[in-house]
Every structure is written in C-alpha cells, then in structure tokens.
Amino acid sequence: MPTSHTHPAAHRGRSLPALAAFFVLAYAVAAAGALASSNAAEVYASLDRPAWAPPAWLFGPVWTVLYATIAVAGWLVWRRAGDPGRRRALAWWGVQLVLNLAWTPLFFGARRYGLALVDILFLVTAVVVTLRLFHRIDRSAGLLLIPYLAWVCFATALNGALCGWG
C-alpha cells in the first residue's frame, strides 16, 4: 500500500484532538500500570535478576518514550481514513494495549511471574501483528513500533529468566 495519502478535509480539523486522545489512551495504560505496581521497585529489587537485567530507574524513562511512539503510531494509522485495513489495524493496537496493561498487575501486583510470561508472549505476538498491519498502512507508524517490539522482547527474555528460562 502507498505510504502517502491525502487526508479528507473532515479529518484535518480533528487531527490534533485525535492525537491527544491517542496520547491519553496510551498514557492511561501507563498510569494504570503505575497504580497497580506501586511496590514495583521493592519487588524488582527482591528478585534474583540475571546480570544483564537493567537497573530499576531505567524502566520509567524507556516506557515514557515508548508510550509516546505507540500513541503517535496509532494516530498516524487513524488518519488514514480511506484505508480498508485501518479498522483491523487499530483493533490490534487496542489488543496490544490491553495485553500491555495486564502484564504489570500480573507481574508486580500478583507476583504471578509465569502468568505474566504468558501474557507478555501474547503481547509480543500482538505487537508484531500491529506493527505489520501499521506498516502496510503507514510506513512511519510501523517503524515507530520497532523500539516497542524490541523492548517487549527484551522484557520477555527478562520475565522468562525470572521464571527459570535459560
């Protein structure tokens, strides 16, 4: 599919409010995760982490940037009103956000590391599907999700190591 698209006039006036809505959705997931993991620093410090595990302070800045890229990617696809794949792509965007939201309470809140691992494996799959669908509609939107996918894969390896993988 082409990566350039003339946006209908009807969407031009709603573009910035829509971008704000995508940011609100993405950062609502972040806020809900923060509420569900108020003890995350203590839980993380108590874990027998592998030597390659990042310091706890790194997660906040990384996720702050990633949620911004997730929001902008969703917005870029939303702007492609005439694309027949847009609805499906945005549905997958929502699926990956729900799976993302579920991981933090499972891991830090309930300390159900195995169940969190199952969730994050589904999350990796959902991010891959979302990235591919987004890339077909808007190349930039797909590219914006690559750092997110990389970080979620890294987090999956870390979650797996904490469950006894490798």
CATH topology assigned to domain 11-34+57-162? Ferritin (1.20.1260)
Q: Please report where in the chains the tokens 């993302």 appear, as a residue.
A: 100
- Residue 13 has a pLDDT of 55
Instruction: Give the length of the chain.
Output: 166
> How far, rounded to the nearest angstrom, does the alpha carbon of residue 106 sit from its chain's CA centroid?
16
Nearest to 120 by CA among 73, 145, 157: 157
In terms of Cβ atoms closer than 10 Å to its own Cβ (0-12, 13-18, 19+), residue 147 is middle
Average pLDDT, consecutive stretches of 10 residues, N- to C-terminus, the chain (166 residues): 46 81 97 87 94 95 97 98 96 98 95 97 98 98 98 98 83
- Give the span between the Cα atoms of 156 and 49, in whole angstroms: 13
Q: For residue 10, which amino acid is it?
A: A
Q: What local confidence, expressed as pLDDT, does residue 34 receive?
A: 86
State pTM to two decimals: 0.90
